[in-house]
């Protein structure tokens, strides 16, 4: 009896017709596609995108060249050279570079930073057009920080109570 | 009348006939190619919708110009002939594939008498043309000098040969019911409304024919010849640009052909389903037969896309088992049944 039932089931394509019914029903359901450039998925304040170096409101850069980020970076993507600044002799970086091809966006640099200088922003849709552009220099990082300071500060504020 | 004058007028008659035939061919092929272009669009949209996606919607309003953009891209691409490939055969293969699939349309009637070649053995001609197409596949696979292409070609050849049998048997049923091989006469023998069409007495054969048609066109779930997961794209893996698009065009032309044939052979072709139903018949009398045929064919074309969106690919031995151990016995059993049915003079053969 069971074999007869099994035979009829497969011979009359019962399972296949059930499958067709599922796809038919799905055709009329709401579509879940996000139309990317116009629509964006929501982001967390902890989003780890393109890096930035922050500055204080008076324009002084935060980074004190402690090299903790360079030490903690698991991909060795950060290169720092430090020395006294000509103007006031304080210890600053003379070179701060991030290789975006090496970076794995783990966020350790951000966590290790004692002065909240190196941060990861919400920017994720950037591109390079020439060789060598994947190296973010200190000026580029500071520029990203200046342009996005408002968002960066708001995100740190939102996350502060969990730190 | 001198001899030269006679020759000249003879030539004129010949040229005029040739001109009209060419015009008819163009009148069939241009809409066919457009239909193929928009079948690809419909396929992407329908499969997208069934997978909760939107499908192409960027080029033109709602993505309507997507097929045009695809065509332009394919035309501009270079045809690369692989090293060690047999160059002549490599270039010939797409033509050998697309030629028969277009030629088969010659005997397809679009309305009563609207047919390019009203031949008596239309059904045989179509079977022959769809079978010849496999040479294009085999030659493409062999000439590419690639193991994937060759494997795909072998699979495709074995599959088409196996399903040809079941398909031929299914068509024998149609032949018995209509007593004719001419597609127009087959349609006319189904006149008398939806319950006189052959789909009721030949239902098992219809299912066998339809599934064999899916297998013949190498469509999912029978697309072993393309099997992306193991042999990349099968027989056309080395083709690009227009050479590839010829294969593509032929595959979709075959799909449309199978849909048209299903409508013609089992669902009364251009006949209205309400024929002889009084009120309904009068209300729908203004709809031309071609529209009925197109509606029926589009339903089956949608079925092909629906099937592709639903089923995973068969394993190769499963395909062979289905073809040889299921379809051929089913058709062999149903043919005597139909024969007795016809001879016993009961509905719908009275």
DSSP string across B249-311? HHHHHHHHHHHHHHHHHHS-TTS-TTTT-THHHHHTTTS-HHHHHHHHHHHHHHHHHHHHHHP
pLDDT band at A104 (very low <50, low <70, confident <90, very high): very high
Question: Per residue in B140-185, pLDDT tens?
Answer: 888 888 888 888 888 888 888 888 888 888 888 888 888 888 888 8
Question: Per residue in B50-62, pLDDT tens?
Answer: 999 888 888 888 8
Instruction: Provide the pLDDT for residue A74.
Output: 94
The nearest CA of chain A is from the CA of B306 a distance in Å of 7
Q: Cβ–Cβ of A20/B310 closer than 8 Å? A: yes
- Among B49, B312, B329, the strongest candidate for a mutation testing the A interface, having the largest count of A CBs within 10 A, is B49
Residues of chain A positioned with their CB less than 8 A from the CB of B46? 27
* Cα dihedral across residues B274, B280, B282, B288: positive or negative: negative
What Rg value do the Cα atoms of chain B yield, rounded?
A: 22
B345: left (phi over 0), alpha (psi -120 to 50) or beta: left
Q: Which residue has the higher pLDDT, A1 or A106?
A: A106
Q: Scanning every residue of chain B, which has its alpha carbon at the shortest distance from the alpha carbon of A7? A: B326
Instruction: Provide the pLDDT for residue B3.
Output: 61
3-state secondary structure of B170: helix
Nearest to B52 among A11, A20, A31 (CB): A31
Q: Is A106 annotated as a binding residue?
A: yes
Instruction: Provide the pLDDT for residue B5.
Output: 65
Instruction: Provide the pLDDT for residue A16.
Output: 86
The answer to pTM > 0.95 is: no
Q: Which helix (H) or strand (E) holds A98?
A: strand A91-99
Question: Per residue in B20-37, pLDDT tens?
Answer: 889 989 988 999 999 999
Cα–Cα distance, B101 to B253 (Å, whole number): 7
Chain center to CA of B176: 22
Question: Per residue in A63-89, pLDDT tens?
Answer: 999 999 999 999 999 999 998 988 888
Q: Scanning every residue of chain A, which has its alpha carbon at the shortest distance from the alpha carbon of B302? A: A24
Instruction: Provide the pLDDT for residue B4.
Output: 64
- Catalogue the long-range contacts made by A53-60 (C-beta closer than 8 Å, 24 or more residues apart): A53/A96, A53/A117, A53/A118, A53/A119, A53/A138, A53/A141, A53/A142, A53/A144, A53/A145, A54/A116, A54/A117, A54/A118, A54/A119, A54/A145, A54/A149, A54/A152, A55/A142, A55/A145, A55/A146, A55/A149
Q: Cβ–Cβ of A31/B53 closer than 8 Å? A: yes
The answer to whether residues A17 and B37 touch, using CB atoms and an 8 Å cutoff, is no
The answer to whether residues A19 and B308 touch, using CB atoms and an 8 Å cutoff, is no
Q: Cβ–Cβ of B49/A19 closer than 8 Å? A: no
Q: Cβ–Cβ of B49/A32 closer than 8 Å? A: no
- Among B44, B51, B58, B331, the strongest candidate for a mutation testing the A interface, having the largest count of A CBs within 10 A, is B51
Nearest to A32 among B52, B306, B309 (CB): B52
Nearest to A26 among B50, B207, B326 (CB): B50
Q: Which helix (H) or strand (E) holds B98?
A: helix B87-103
Residues of chain B positioned with their CB less than 8 A from the CB of A31? 49, 52-54
C-alpha angle B91-B93-B99 in degrees, rounded to nearest 5: 115
Nearest to A23 among B53, B207, B306 (CB): B306
3-state secondary structure of A96: strand
Q: Is A103 annotated as a binding residue?
A: yes
Nearest to B310 among A23, A29, A30 (CB): A23
């Amino acid at each position: 009896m069971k074999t007869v039932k099994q035979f009829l089931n497969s011979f009359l394509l019962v399972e296949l017709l059930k499958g067709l019914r599922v796809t038919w029903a799905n055709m009329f359901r709401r579509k879940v596609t996000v139309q990317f450039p116009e629509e964006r998925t929501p982001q967390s304040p902890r989003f780890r995108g393109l890096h930035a170096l922050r500055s204080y409101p008076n324009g002084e850069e935060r980074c004190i060249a402690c090299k903790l980020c360079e030490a903690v970076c698991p991909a060795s993507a950060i290169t720092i050279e430090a020395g006294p600044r000509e103007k006031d002799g304080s210890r600053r970086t003379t070179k701060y570079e991030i290789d975006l091809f090496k970076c794995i966006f783990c966020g350790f640099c951000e966590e290790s930073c004692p002065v909240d200088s190196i941060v990861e922003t919400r920017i994720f849709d950037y591109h390079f057009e020439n060789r060598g552009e994947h190296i973010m220099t200190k000026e580029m990082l500071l520029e990203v920080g200046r342009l996005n300071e408002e968002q960066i500060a708001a995100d740190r504020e939102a996350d502060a109570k969990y730190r | 009348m001198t001899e030269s004058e006679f020759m000249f007028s003879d030539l004129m008659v010949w040229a005029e006939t040739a001109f009209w035939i060419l015009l008819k061919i163009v009148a069939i092929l241009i809409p066919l190619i457009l239909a193929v272009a928009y079948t690809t669009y419909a396929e992407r949209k329908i499969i997208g919708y069934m997978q909760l996606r939107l499908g192409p919607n960027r080029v033109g309003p709602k993505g309507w110009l997507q097929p045009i953009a695809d065509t332009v891209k394919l035309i501009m691409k270079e045809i690369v002939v692989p090293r060690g490939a047999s160059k002549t055969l490599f270039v010939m293969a797409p033509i050998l594939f697309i030629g028969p699939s277009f030629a088969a349309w010659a005997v397809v009637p679009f309305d009563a008498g609207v047919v390019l070649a009203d031949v008596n053995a239309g059904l045989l001609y179509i079977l022959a043309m769809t079978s010849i197409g496999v040479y294009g596949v085999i030659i493409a696979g062999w000439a590419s000098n690639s193991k994937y292409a060759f494997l795909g070609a072998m699979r495709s050849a074995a599959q088409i040969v196996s399903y040809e049998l079941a398909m031929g048997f299914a068509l024998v049923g149609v032949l018995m019911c209509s007593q004719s091989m001419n597609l127009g006469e087959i349609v006319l023998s189904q006149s008398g409304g939806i319950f006189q069409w052959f789909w009721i007495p030949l239902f098992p054969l219809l299912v066998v024919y339809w599934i064999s048609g899916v297998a013949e066109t190498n469509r999912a779930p029978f697309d072993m010849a393309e099997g992306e997961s193991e042999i990349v794209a099968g027989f056309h893996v080395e083709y690009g640009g227009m050479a590839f698009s010829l294969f593509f065009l032929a595959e979709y032309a075959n799909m449309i052909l199978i849909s048209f044939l299903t409508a013609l052979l089992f669902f009364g072709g251009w006949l209205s389903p309400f024929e002889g139903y009084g009120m309904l018949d009068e209300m729908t009398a203004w709809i031309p037969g071609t529209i009925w045929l197109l509606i029926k064919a589009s339903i089956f074309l949608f079925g092909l896309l629906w099937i592709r969106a639903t089923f995973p690919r068969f394993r190769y031995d499963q395909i062979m088992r289905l073809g040889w151990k299921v379809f051929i016995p089913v058709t062999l059993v149903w043919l005597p049944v139909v024969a007795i049915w016809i001879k016993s003079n009961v509905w719908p053969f009275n």
